[in-house]
Structure formats: C-alpha cells, structure tokens
C-alpha cells in the first residue's frame, strides 16, 4: 500500500497532472454554476478532451477535478441564487440562500468550501482504507459473481432512482441494456440490431447518450420554462468577508466529522449518491440539534449548510469505491467515468490496483489535491467566477446546446451522431415529462456490455444456466437483486391497500 | 391514459420488435459450429426482451402505483400550453439543421449561424454584440478542437476548400 501510495504521489504531483487538477476544478466550478449543466453533462463534454490526452491517469485526474469543481460550482449557485445547478446541492440552498440574503454570502461560501474540503478529504482517507480491502475480496469473485453483483448494482440504482415507482426505473435500466446490445460486440463478432444501418455498426456512443439524457432536456426545459432559474438577473449581491469566527468553526466541526463518515458510506452504496447523502445529512443534523439551534435550521443555520456540503462531497468520494474496486459505477457520474476509462483501454476492477497502481493511487491522491485546490484557489476566485451567473440566458442556452453538439461530434467525428443526439434528446425530454428517471438508462447502457460479457463467460463455463446454482454467492446476490426491486413495490402496494381500506372504513 | 402509460405502450411495442428479432431472426444466421455453444448472440437479448416486456406491462397496466402523495414532477406536461414549446421545437430543428450543414458549410460559418439564430429565437436582438461573440466563440472552439485536440474540423464551406 505504501509503495502504491508513493507511485500515486509521484504521478499526481507531476506538473502536468497538477495542472489537470487545477484546470479541472476551475472548469468544473465555472460550468457547474450554470443551470442546465450538471456534473454528468460537464464530464461528458470533457471526455473527448480527456481521451485525446491518451494518458489514463491524467485523463481520470482531469475528470475527477471537473467532478469536484462542478459540485462546488453547484453549491455556489445554490447559495447565491437559490438555483441549484445539481440535485446534490439542493439541500445546501436550504440554509445557504437565507445566509446569503442576510448579507453573509461570503461566510456561507467559506463554510461550503471548508465543509466540502473536509468531507472530500475524510472521504479520500476512507477510500484509501476501504478500496484495497474491497479489491482483495473482489479478486475472489468469478464471472458468475460479477454478473450477479452487477445485477445487484443495477437493481439498487433502479430501486433508489424510482422511489415509489420502481417498475419505471427498472424499465429504464432494461432499455439501457437493450441499447447496449446494438452494434457489433467484441464477443460475437457479428452485428446485432443494426437494421442494416452502417452508422449503427459500432453501436451508440455513450457520450451522445449522456448528452441526450441530461444536458439536452435540461437546456430545453430552460427554454420552455424561463422561470425555472434565476440566472441572468444579475442579482448576486456583493460577496465580501469570507472569514468565519473560531466559535463558528467549533460549532460546525462535529457536524463535519459526522457527515464526512456518513456521507462516505452512503456514497459507496450503488444508487444512493450525493443527493441522498446531502438530504439525509441535513435531516440527521436537524434532528440532533437542540432547541434554538434546531429552530434556526432553514433560516440560515451554519450547521444546516455544513451538513449537506460535507455529506455530498464525502459521498462523491465514496462513489469512487465501487467504481475503482469492482468496476461497477454507483451513480450516473461514475458511470460516465467508467465509460471514459473503457475508452482509454483501462478496465476498472479489483485488478486495477495491482496492474495499474499509478492510475489507482494517482486518482486518490488527486482527490486530496482537488479538494485543496477548491479551498485555496477557487474560494478567493468565487466573486469573479460568480460573474458567469450574469450571462443572459439568450446567450447561455445556445451555447449549452452548442457544447452538447460539440461533445457528441468530437467523440465520434460524425455528423449523423448529431441527428442521433437530437432524436434521443427529444425522447429523453418526453421521458422526463412523464417522470421516468434517466440515470438508470445510462448506467444500464454503460454496464450492458460488461454484464453480457460476464453472463456469457459464466454460461460458457457452466455449459448453461447451471452457473446460477453452482456457487451459492451468485444465487444469493441474485436473490438480493430481486428483493431490492420487489420489496419497495410490494410495500408501496400494501401501504396503498391499507390507505384504501381506511378510507372505506370511514 | 396518462403519458407514462403511453410511453410504456410504445416501449412495449419496440420491445416486441426487438424480441421478435432476437427470438426468430438472429439465430438463423448462426454458423453451425456456434450452435453447439451454450451461449448465442441472441441469448442475452432474449432475456432482456422478456424482462422488458414484463416491466412495461407492469407500468402499462398500472400494477404498481406510486406510494404516498403524488410527487410534483420536475416539469408538468399537463401545463404544456404554459410553456414556450414553440421555441424549444425551433431550437431542436436548428440543431438538426446544424448537423446537416456542418459538413457542407464548414464549422465556422455553421457555428456562427447556429449561435446567432439560436439567440435570436430566444429573443436577442442586439446583433452588434451577438455576431462578434458568436464569431469569436466559433473561432476559439475551432482552434481548440483542431489545434489542441487534433481532431479535423473543416473550417470553411466545401467550395472554398
């Protein structure tokens, strides 16, 4: 581990990679503030840039920097404008925005930055401890268990994404898997479901799909409903006095401590991620706060801001655990990172740590550096970066659309891809209208080929479906996957039946 | 019928076509030596097709109802009339036109046109700001893509060379 750490340190501290972290954080913060471009879209736009660098560790470091920057940028717009750019920072606006309105915008940003820094740092330490342990356990897995594990991951993502409506989320996951089978897979060397179209021979591009699923519908919603954001009104006010007092620091310290750990473990769970971690963190801290402090939540409490900020950054770090150790992404963003890694010929999984220690450790070290950059570089720059919020939407929206087009064009160098993007974008917007979650579709799509690979290998080794029963762990995991999907539906049904029963009785 | 169930119906239809292709047409092309394999190219799609058909039926028939109170969706399609849907459709059309014009018109011209017309659709009328900004942005992006990333983008229309 020490040796790996040293390799990671030397890789991450090379001039090129330091520039990557700094650049990534700045770009991420800058774009993350804009409405309509969440971390997923920003990372998808940056992937062609990262891939063209050719160095997987530099690419991943850049993308991780962008990810952190985007989350931080999202918090900034939550606090200053009550317009969260990202779902994970919605909870930050509960107390951050009242603070800004009370003239404490500078203090709120400092608390957000310190909490994010601490959350990210504690998360990175926990990642360093748990990732190698999980990797060594995962090395014992066969393809059958991998297959089952991926099914568990997908079910958990569907169960979380589709709260109250799991069937919809499961359907989206399955459509993602279906889309992954289009094109000529490496496994069978024959085109499938291409309908004779040459453009579909290599399958759909995941960057196009990511743009179409997230950036495009969001931009279209901004067009359709101008009241959706408050950008362009220039009403950010003055950001001054970034200092916090010693007593304030003392009062948020325990919150940060608790939420770093809690957020990290929520982030590790597939499907949970930063959004749930931040809401849960806020709720837990409000519940354990006493009397006066509790009454202050929602009116500008510094604890109420520190809790979600710490938790969402710790969860972002936590979400790297399943990605780096199992190769299974737990969230849309890590799924896009997985896609980027595959494009760079790196297969994340338990062997990553032993086969490419430079990548594995460099990413972890760069997380520290990224958090530090956010604190010491981005924070003082915030008053200037926040000017981006004053860009009028008449200019902003065409640019967002242009960047989605460019992202998918650069990835494939093919104008037909742009038409596919528009087509999928329309479908995704309609799906959003009907409240279908889209992240499961993208995760299903990205995991699809790996899932089929492991499925096929297990079928081949066991000469048929026997692999499900051959090893008890496979069966156990598949049962867990089924329960994850069935239990919430069943409970919702029962609750409804009970409600209906009560109503009848009345 | 609510929009989500109409969508489930469409997905049901698409999955039927997908499943038909997996169950009845793909295996005919399989060379004889591969037929002895326990896994065929159609095996995984068959499993997916069956599962998707089942879940789309669950949604279509409303077997699973959302628990608790109705969640207010992100954006409500029942209020579609209140939204500026025309502008969104125009922008989508503009994106499709951009895709078709990129090769023949070249990157710079089509991008300047896209950014300017896009802003005009949204109500911008200050052309003395708009066109220079669009031109500078197109130039910078072209330089970054071609010069820094090394990806070829034809800058000028086909007749200029």
The predicted complex's ipTM stands at: 0.88
Residue B70 has pLDDT above 60, yes or no: no
Q: Which of A190, A405, A431 sits opposite B95 (nearest CB)?
A: A405
- Per CB-CB distance under 8 Å, the chain B contacts of A462 are 38
Look at residue B83 in the predicted model and tell me its pLDDT: 75
CA distance to partner chain B, nearest, from residue A309 (Å): 23
Q: Taking CB atoms and an 8 Å limit, are A392 and B68 in contact across chains? A: no
Q: Taking CB atoms and an 8 Å limit, are B151 and A422 in contact across chains? A: no
Contact B127/A at CB under 8 A = no
Residue A388 has pLDDT above 50, yes or no: yes
Contact B48/A at CB under 8 A = yes
Average pLDDT, chain A: 81
DSSP state of A183: E
Contact A492/B at CB under 8 A = yes
A191: helix, coil or strand? Answer: strand
> What's chain B look like in SS3?
CCHHHHHHHHHHHHHHHHHHHHHHHHHHHCCHHHHHCCCCCCHHHHHHHHHHHHHHHHHHCCCCCCCCCCCCCCCCHHHHHHCCHHHHHHHHHHHHHHHHHHHHHCHHHHHHHHHHHHHHHCCCCCHHHHHHHHHHHHHHHHHHHHHHCCCCCCCCCCCCC
pLDDT tens across A148-187, in order?
Answer: 888 888 888 888 776 668 888 899 999 999 998 888 876 7
pLDDT tens across A50-108, in order?
Answer: 877 778 888 888 888 888 888 888 888 778 877 666 677 778 888 888 888 787 888 88
Q: Give the whole-number percent of chain A exceeding pLDDT 70.
A: 91
Look at residue A447 in the predicted model and tell me its pLDDT: 84
Look at residue B127 in the predicted model and tell me its pLDDT: 84
Q: Taking CB atoms and an 8 Å limit, are A225 and B103 in contact across chains? A: no
Contact A418/B at CB under 8 A = yes
Q: Taking CB atoms and an 8 Å limit, are A409 and B102 in contact across chains? A: yes
- Per CB-CB distance under 8 Å, the chain B contacts of A175 are 11, 52
User: What is d(CA A341, CA A242) in angstroms, rounded to the nearest whole number?
Assistant: 38
Q: Which of B58, B118, B137 sits opposite A397 (nearest CB)?
A: B118
Q: Taking CB atoms and an 8 Å limit, are A452 and B111 in contact across chains? A: no
Look at residue A270 in the predicted model and tell me its pLDDT: 74
Look at residue A246 in the predicted model and tell me its pLDDT: 82
Contact B25/A at CB under 8 A = no
Look at residue B114 in the predicted model and tell me its pLDDT: 92
A257: helix, coil or strand? Answer: helix
Residue A501 has pLDDT above 90, yes or no: no
Residue B69 has pLDDT above 50, yes or no: no
Strand partners, A184: A191
Q: Taking CB atoms and an 8 Å limit, are A495 and B87 in contact across chains? A: no
Helical residues (DSSP H) of A414-471, grouped into ranges: 415-433, 439-462, 467-470
Q: At what angle do helices A56-81 and A15-32 cross, to 10 degrees?
A: 30
Q: Taking CB atoms and an 8 Å limit, are A164 and B67 in contact across chains? A: yes
User: What is d(CA B127, CA B119) in angstroms, rounded to the nearest whole number?
Assistant: 10
Q: Give residues 470 to 489 of A whose Cβ lies within 8 Å of B.
A: 489
With tokens 């156990």, the residue in question is A476
Contact B57/A at CB under 8 A = no
Q: Which of B2, B124, B141 sits opposite A394 (nearest CB)?
A: B124
Q: Taking CB atoms and an 8 Å limit, are B3 and A399 in contact across chains? A: no
- Over residues A439-463, the mean pLDDT reads 86
Contact A221/B at CB under 8 A = yes
A-B Cβ pairs (cutoff 8 Å, strict): 190
Q: Which residue of A has its CA nearest to B106?
A: A415
With tokens 């990553």, the residue in question is A352
- Per CB-CB distance under 8 Å, the chain A contacts of B56 are 171
Q: Does the pTM exceed 0.90?
A: no
Q: Which of A223, A416, A433 sits opposite B122 (nearest CB)?
A: A223
pLDDT tens across A394-408, in order?
Answer: 888 888 888 888 888
Interface probe for B, chosen from A62, A164, A397, A398 (most Cβ of B below 10 Å), is: A398
User: What is d(CA B73, CA A471) in angstroms, rounded to the nearest whole number?
Assistant: 43
CA distance to partner chain B, nearest, from residue A189 (Å): 9
CA distance to partner chain B, nearest, from residue A118 (Å): 32
Q: Give the whole-number percent of chain A exceeding pLDDT 90.
A: 6
């Amino acid at each position: 581990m020490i040796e790996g750490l040293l390799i990671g340190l030397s890789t991450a501290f090379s001039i090129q990679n330091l520039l990557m972290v700094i650049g990534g954080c700045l770009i991420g913060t800058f774009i993350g503030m804009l409405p309509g471009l969440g971390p997923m879209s920003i990372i998808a736009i940056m992937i062609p840039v990262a891939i063209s660098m050719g160095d997987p560790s530099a690419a991943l470091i850049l993308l991780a920097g962008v990810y952190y920057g985007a989350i931080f940028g999202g918090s900034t717009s939550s606090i200053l404008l009550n317009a969260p750019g990202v779902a994970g920072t919605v909870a930050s606006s509960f107390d951050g925005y009242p603070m800004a309105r009370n003239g404490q915008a500078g203090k709120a940003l400092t608390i957000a930055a310190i909490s994010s820094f601490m959350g990210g740092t504690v998360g990175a330490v926990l990642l360093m401890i748990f990732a190698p342990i999980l990797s060594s356990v995962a090395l014992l897995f066969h393809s059958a268990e991998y297959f089952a594990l991926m099914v568990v991951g997908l079910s958990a993502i569907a169960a979380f994404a589709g709260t109250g409506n799991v069937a919809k989320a499961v359907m989206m996951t399955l459509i993602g898997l279906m889309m992954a089978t289009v094109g000529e897979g490496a496994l069978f060397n024959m085109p499938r479901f291409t309908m004779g179209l040459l453009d579909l021979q290599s399958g759909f591009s995941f960057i196009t799909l990511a743009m179409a699923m997230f950036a495009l519908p969001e931009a279209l919603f901004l067009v359709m409903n101008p009241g959706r954001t408050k950008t362009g009104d220039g009403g950010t006010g003055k950001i001054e006095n970034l200092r916090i007092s010693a007593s304030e620091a003392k009062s948020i310290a325990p919150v940060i401590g608790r939420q770093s750990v809690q957020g990290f473990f929520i982030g590790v769970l597939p499907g949970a991620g930063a959004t749930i971690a931040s809401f849960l963190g806020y709720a837990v801290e409000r519940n354990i706060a006493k009397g006066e402090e509790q009454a202050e939540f929602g009116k500008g409490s510094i604890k109420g801001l520190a809790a979600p900020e710490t938790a969402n950054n710790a969860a972002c770090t936590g979400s790297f655990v399943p990605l780096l150790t199992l190769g299974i992404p737990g969230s849309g963003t890590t799924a896009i990172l997985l896609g980027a890694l595959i494009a760079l010929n790196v297969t994340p999984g338990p062997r990553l740590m032993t086969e490419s220690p430079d990548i594995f450790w460099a990413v972890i070290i760069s997380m520290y550096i990224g958090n530090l950059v956010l604190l010491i570089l981005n924070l003082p720059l915030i008053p200037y970066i926040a000017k981006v919020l004053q860009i009028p939407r008449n200019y902003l929206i065409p640019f967002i659309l242009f960047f989605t087009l460019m992202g998918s064009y650069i990835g494939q160098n093919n104008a037909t891809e742009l038409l596919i993007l528009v087509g999928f974008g329309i479908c995704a917007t309609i799906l959003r209208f009907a409240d279908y979650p889209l992240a499961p579709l993208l995760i299903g799509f990205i995991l699809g080929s790996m899932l089929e690979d492991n499925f096929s290998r297990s079928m081949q080794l066991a000469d048929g479906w026997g692999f499900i029963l051959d090893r008890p762990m496979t069966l156990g995991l598949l049962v867990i996957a089924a329960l994850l999907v069935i239990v919430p539906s069943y409970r919702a049904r029962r609750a409804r039946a009970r409600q209906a029963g009560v109503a009848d009785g009345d | 019928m609510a929009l989500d169930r109409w969508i489930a119906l469409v997905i049901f239809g698409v999955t039927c076509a997908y499943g038909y292709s997996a169950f009845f047409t793909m295996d005919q092309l399989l060379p004889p030596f591969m037929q002895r394999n326990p896994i065929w190219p159609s095996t995984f799609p068959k499993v997916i097709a069956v599962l998707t058909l089942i879940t789309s039926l669950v949604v279509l028939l409303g077997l699973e109802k959302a628990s608790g109170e109705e969640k207010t969706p992100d954006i409500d399609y029942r209020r579609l009339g209140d939204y500026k849907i025309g502008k969104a459709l125009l922008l989508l059309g503009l994106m499709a036109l951009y895709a078709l014009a990129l090769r023949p018109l070249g990157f710079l011209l089509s991008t300047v046109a896209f950014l300017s017309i896009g802003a005009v659709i949204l109500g911008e009328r200050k052309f003395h700001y708009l066109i220079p900004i669009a031109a500078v942005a197109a130039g910078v992006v072209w330089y970054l893509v071609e010069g820094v990333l090394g990806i070829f983008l034809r800058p000028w229309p086909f007749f200029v060379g």
